[in-house]
Chain A
Amino acid sequence: MPMYYFHLRDQDTIQDVDGTELSDTDAARAHADVVARELKFKNEEFLDEGWSKWSMHVHDDKGQELFSFPMSGEKSDGKGR
């Protein structure tokens, strides 16, 4: 199965250094949705201004961006779930 990488970006990048093995891009969308949901937090001490200015960028194992979405929204495009 191919590897997918889920990076976070504002001006800076938080690298998903490990990646995850998934069956296809649809599975990567579903994974991205779950991760985006799990990353959410209420306590602002964790990160000033939360993830509102960040977006998630999903890459394949060649470093090619497949899709991205703003973390302020709920999902990649709704297909994931």
Chain B
Amino acid sequence: MADELTLVPQDNRLLAALPTELFALMQRDFKQISLAQGQALYEPGEPIDEIYFPLSGMISLLVIAKNGGAIETATIGREGAVGLHGGVGKRVSFTRATIQIPGKFSVIRAAAFAQSVQDHPPLRDLIARYTEVLWAEAQQIAACNAIHDAPARLCRWLLQSADRVGSDHLPLTQDLIAQMLGVRRTTVTLLAQSLQRQGVIKYARGHITIIDREHLRHCACECYAIMQQEKLPLKIGVHF
């Protein structure tokens, strides 16, 4: 991970994609904050008041089942943002959004963002392009959850999370991972131990470090390669 102190808004791909003059205009509306693991940003049905651009952490979007269970439907890191639709009008969150991996985030109030969007067409265009990417990802994840086995999904998820935060060191408990993948914690514990035995990851309570990225790629389902954040936008003709 980049040194936390040197993180700048442009470490987020979407903010980096904005024309320099436009970003300069908006800069006073952004604040940089640290958010802790487990912190909830939105609940389903709640208004989107603030928009979050990760610089180093990762946000999970979760669909909440009636029995209280939650399953992850998307993860967002420095390649994206959460709540962008708050920029095109008053919007309500469909999912729960929580901090999965703590880190630094650039935050802007939805009202201020909406004002900028109204004044600057490139911002509206950015929202549209990013929405296309998220939609493609959501389709891939729906398919992945339905057809791929837990070991392949675990490997995909570890690689994807590492890309999201820009670090091979992931502060994650197997409890969280199990919830994200919709499997028993025992399953994640045994799979993680097995990967550790083969020297692919290093695993201690609450921390996973990727040692052999290449091997992990071989073990992951094809969804990792398809959704790789540098490649997916280009695949559907979107440029940032």
Contact = CB atoms under 8 A, between A and B. Distances in A.
Interface of A: 6, 8, 12, 14-18, 20, 31, 34-35, 38-43, 45-47
B184 A15 contact: no
Contacts of B190: 6, 8, 14, 16, 35, 39
B209 interface: no
A31 B149 contact: no
Interface of B: 149-152, 155, 174, 183-187, 189-191, 193-194, 197-198, 215, 218-219, 221
Given A35-B186, A38-B184, A45 B149 contact: no
B149 A40 contact: yes
Nearest to A18: B189
B149 A41 contact: yes
B193 A46 contact: no
A43 to B, nearest CB: 6
Contacts of B174: 18
Contacts of B155: 46
Among A6, A18, A34, A40, find the residue whose CB has the most chain B CB atoms closer than 10 A.
Answer: A18
A46 B151 CA distance: 7
A41 B197 CA distance: 17
A75 B155 CA distance: 25
Contact of A17 (B151, B191, B193, B197): B193
Contact of A42 (B149, B184, B197, B218): B149
A43 B150 CA distance: 11
B186 A16 contact: yes
